[in-house]
Amino acid sequence: MSLDKIDDYFIFIYDLEPSEWCSTFRFESPNFHRADLAHTASFSLWKNMLVVFYAIPSGAYPFDVLRARVQYFATIIVTCYGWLTGKPLELIQKNWVEVETEGQVRKRIAGTFQNISEPPIEHPDNEAFKKIVTLVPLNLKNPELARALRDFHSCLSKTNPDFYFYAYRAVEDIRSYFGSAEDDNERRKAWDSMNKALGREQKDYKELVELAKQARHGNIPDLLIDQETAQRQVNFVSSLINVFTKFLSDSDNARTGV
């Protein structure tokens, strides 16, 4: 990462839980750069440690705003992983460091220790992060996708009827890309536009709509949900997100933002 025009360079460190899902993680991303704001961000993974590197012009943000931007970036990584693998990792901030540096950062290392075995870079578990690299710019440019992945991540984390509420919210997040929901007429137009663009019909959502309504109004007992029904909705919402990401990528995948 070139720091010739960067004054403030931060390293934010997170733990990922449950740690047993992360024992084979080892990955280093390319830089994600937004030229108009001179922001550069990237991330490294080492087992259950996620490190976000964030560089900005000096004094560009108060620290609380900077921390929120980095948290948003880190959340994108975790929610993309949850969508790709079905594993809703929890993100826990542990520490941050402001780095004084000159010239180039020559090497980035996250969590290496002598006499501890290193996860192999080629381990299959790390394949998801290669896909995440392509998804990060789409999330940064399209908040509707970022919200859909966050709600889908919340859905995966639930074992009670709230599962259906978050699953349907992910669908509504995607619908919001195609238009507002200020009134019934505008909402219908947005649904029609979404279905036309993504190859869906209103009947496709019928079961999830009914389950979400019951959950929202407290008409489902707060017990463990039926796994077969839940998996059917996971597959449906996941496939919808997949089609939406392809639609966004095909529409305009040239710009990126941090």
Q: Read off the pLDDT of residues 190-233 as tens digits, 9 standing for 90 and up.
A: 999 999 999 999 999 999 999 998 877 666 666 667 889 999 99
Chain Cα centroid distance, residue 199: 24
Q: Using an 8 Å Cβ cutoff, are 99 and 11 in contact?
A: yes
Counting residues of the chain whose pLDDT is more than 90, the rounded percentage is 57
Q: Is the pLDDT at 244 greater than 60, yes or no?
A: yes
Rounded mean pLDDT, 8-35: 91
Task: Write the pLDDT tens digit of every residue in 88-110.
Answer: 999 998 888 887 655 444 344 44
Averaged pLDDT of the chain: 85
Beta-sheet pairing, 39-46 with 49-56: antiparallel
Residue from 237, 234, 238, 248 nearest 84 by CA: 238
pLDDT for res 182:
79
pLDDT for res 35:
64
Q: Which stretches of the chain are DSSP H helices?
A: 63-85, 127-141, 143-156, 162-177, 184-198, 206-216, 227-251
Q: pLDDT confidence of 154, banded at 50, 70, 90?
A: very high
Rounded mean pLDDT, 175-201: 92
- The CA-based diameter of the chain, rounded to the nearest angstrom, is 64
pLDDT for res 243:
97
pLDDT for res 110:
45
Q: pLDDT confidence of 44, banded at 50, 70, 90?
A: very high
Q: State the pTM of this model.
A: 0.80
Q: Is the pLDDT at 118 greater than 70, yes or no?
A: no
Rounded mean pLDDT, 237-252: 93
Q: pLDDT confidence of 71, banded at 50, 70, 90?
A: very high
Q: Is CATH 1.10.10 the classification given to domain 142-251? A: no
Rounded mean pLDDT, 115-132: 81
Counting residues of the chain whose pLDDT is more than 70, the rounded percentage is 83
